Structures are given as C-alpha cells and as structure tokens.
Amino acid sequence: MKRSERVAVIGVGVLGASVGWSLSRQGAEVVFIDADRPGEGVTNWSFSWVNASNKTARKSYFDLNVAGMAAYRELAGAIGPDPWWYPGGHLRWADDPAAETKLLETAEQLANWGYRAEVYTGAEVRRRLEPALAMPGEVPVVFYPDEAWVHGRHLVGRLVGRAVASGAGLRTGTAVRGIDTGADGSIRRVALSDGSRLDVGTVVNAAGPGASHVAGLIGRHLPMRREPGVVTRVGCPQVPVRRAMHAPHIEIRPDGDASVVLHSREVDALIDTGEDPAHLARLLHASAREVVPGLGNARIAQTRVAHRPIPADGFPSVGAVPSVPGYYEAVSHSGITLGPVIGRLLASEILSGERDQMLADFRPERFCL
C-alpha cells in the first residue's frame, strides 16, 4: 500500500489496537472504528492468559504463540509495563489420574520443545508461590514461569492512546455498515452507521465475534465457531493470589488490586441450557472458594457471557485476501497472546507486501477453497 492511503482498523480490541499501533508507529495513516469503546468487548471479558502451553495441537501454532510471548516482553519495554503487564508465571494441576497423566505428558512435550516447565508438589507451591491455595500436599503442579496475564482493556487504551497522539483517528460508538470497492475490486471506502463515509485504501477486519459479518460486506464467507464463554469478576479487599492458574474445574487470576477473574469450561457448557448468568457466576464463585478459601468473602461484581472469535478450524485467520486488494483479516481466539506479534507481522505485510512465513498456516485463503 501507499503510506498516504488511510487504513481503517475495524474492531478495537487487542488485535485491532496492536495492528493499528504498529502501523501508526511506522508512519501509516490509521483510523480505528468500533461500535463500542476500545477494549470493552471480548478483550475485557477473556481470561487474558499469555501462554503457549495450551497451544500444542500444531507446532506452527505453538511457535506463533511463543513469538507472541516474546513480543509482549518487547512491548513492555517499548511502551512501559504499567498498568497492563503481569508476568509471574502460570500454575496448572488436576484432580484425577487421567488428567494428571495428560498434564505431565504435555509438560514433558513442551520441555522437549524448549519451553520452560517446572513440576512441584502442592506443598511446595503453597510454600514458595501461592500460600493461599488449598490443594493436596502431594499433588503434582506444573509451573510455567514465562507465562503471564494481561489487563486487556488497559493495554488497548495504552496502544490506542499512543497511536492517536501520533495522528491516528478514532471513531467509537459507530459500526461499519458497508465497504465499497472500485472497479478493480480494491477497497475504496467504508460506510458507518452514523451516516458518514471514510475514504480508505486498506481495511483490517479485527472485529472479533463480528468478523464474519464484516467479511460478508465484501462478499466473503468467513466461517466461525459459536463458543460462548462466561467470565465473572469478584471483588475482594485483598487479592489472595499472585498469578494466573488452572485449578481443577476453575480458572483463577488476579485482576488488579481489588478483584479476581473466574472462568471454567465446565460452566461454559451450561450457557446453552438457559441457565441465568447470575447462577453461572455463583457456580464459578463456589468452585473458586474450594481452591482459594480466602475468596469466601468476595462479592460477585460483574458477569458477562461473551462470544469467542474463533475461525471454524480453531486457528487464526491473518493476512490479505488476494481477491479483494486492500482487505486484511486479524481474527483469532488467542488474541491476547497473539496481539503484539500479529500486530507487527500484519503491519509489515500491509506496508511492504511481504508475507511472513510464520503466518503460512494461518492465511485467510484456506477458507476460500
């Protein structure tokens, strides 16, 4: 693309913010567009766990996530780590023999791939890492010291704020209703729900759960999974845990100085049964109290059912769609882990036209066949 052409980034979650910031810092003219406020969508309602230990289904996907972890460390140095970056590792343990065996096999596989994984007993974890946990003293616990969690909304605010300070535009509270193309099929402008139109040469579809709809505006079918998830924040005067963890039946992480985030795949499975989200929140809280008794006096503050942006095959869709010059996708469930690396790689592709081999398995063309 020509640097004088404007880039419309549709969706200002962690992926859109990362792409837009990376473009802006390289001199591109960027306008962010979101129907909500930056970072208030799925980014604010995810477990926000930066990892590659849960990404072993395909080696190329694991490698991309490892690169994402490294990109976060670079980003923290570039923009400052406060108040969004929380390294400190991640803990995982199980409560039945089959799950425990799988956990330890995965840790061994990761170690063979050069990924740091340390195994402790429950007693060692309580003594050295998390004294507030209630767990059997002999249970094996895997500790991944290079993993982290991110306060997604704060990160998005930091990235967008820096881009805007450098000249980027920001249009919030308005959705994209149309994408116009020229006679050659290339991107020409976007039409917004407030009635305005913006002349652009490039569109980045980072619309998360709405990505399939945005793709449809150019006549493209982007198949997406339907996977809702419920996340609850509980408020507590003193946060009793220091890092993210996957305990049996519940995922727990800090969320700043006065709240904790809870999530569970088991509770997610109840969403489509019609259970009230308030009841699901109580189930999450009850499970969390079993693991962290200090959460017994915590209060449920917020609960949201959010739809994860997962392409149909479970892997990211990142890069150009050659049939529509100027149209790019940045759609992935692992947006928190992958945001900075996808931001860097996609910005480079947009500006130079060069396609990085790291994205070879995750190109949008695979859904055009």
pLDDT digits (tens, 9 = 90+) for 282-320: 999 999 999 999 999 999 999 999 999 999 999 999 999
pLDDT digits (tens, 9 = 90+) for 132-154: 999 999 999 999 999 999 999 99
Which residue is associated with the tokens 């060692």? 124
Reported as a pLDDT band with limits 50, 70 and 90, residue 332 is very high
**Whole-structure pTM value:** 0.97
Percentage, residues of the chain above pLDDT 70 = 99
pLDDT digits (tens, 9 = 90+) for 164-178: 999 999 999 999 999
pLDDT score recorded for residue 369: 53
pLDDT at 2 over 80: no
pLDDT digits (tens, 9 = 90+) for 59-110: 999 999 999 999 999 999 999 999 999 999 999 999 999 999 999 999 999 9
pLDDT score recorded for residue 1: 60
C-alpha closest to that of 340 among 152, 150, 157, 69: 69
* Size of the chain in residues: 369
pLDDT mean over 179-184:
96
Q: Which CATH superfamily is domain 6-47+152-225+312-367 in?
A: FAD/NAD(P)-binding domain (3.50.50.60)
pLDDT score recorded for residue 157: 98
pLDDT mean over 238-254:
97
Reported as a pLDDT band with limits 50, 70 and 90, residue 5 is confident
Distances (CA, A) of 53 to 62, 190, 292: 8, 39, 23
The total of other beta-carbon atoms located within 10 Å of residue 257's CB is 10
Reported as a pLDDT band with limits 50, 70 and 90, residue 343 is very high
Reported as a pLDDT band with limits 50, 70 and 90, residue 341 is very high
Rg (the chain; Cα; Å): 21
Reported as a pLDDT band with limits 50, 70 and 90, residue 368 is confident
- CB under 8 A, 24+ apart: contacts of 73-76: 74/340, 75/340
pLDDT digits (tens, 9 = 90+) for 195-213: 999 999 999 999 999 999 9
The average confidence (pLDDT) of the chain is 96
Reported as a pLDDT band with limits 50, 70 and 90, residue 3 is very low
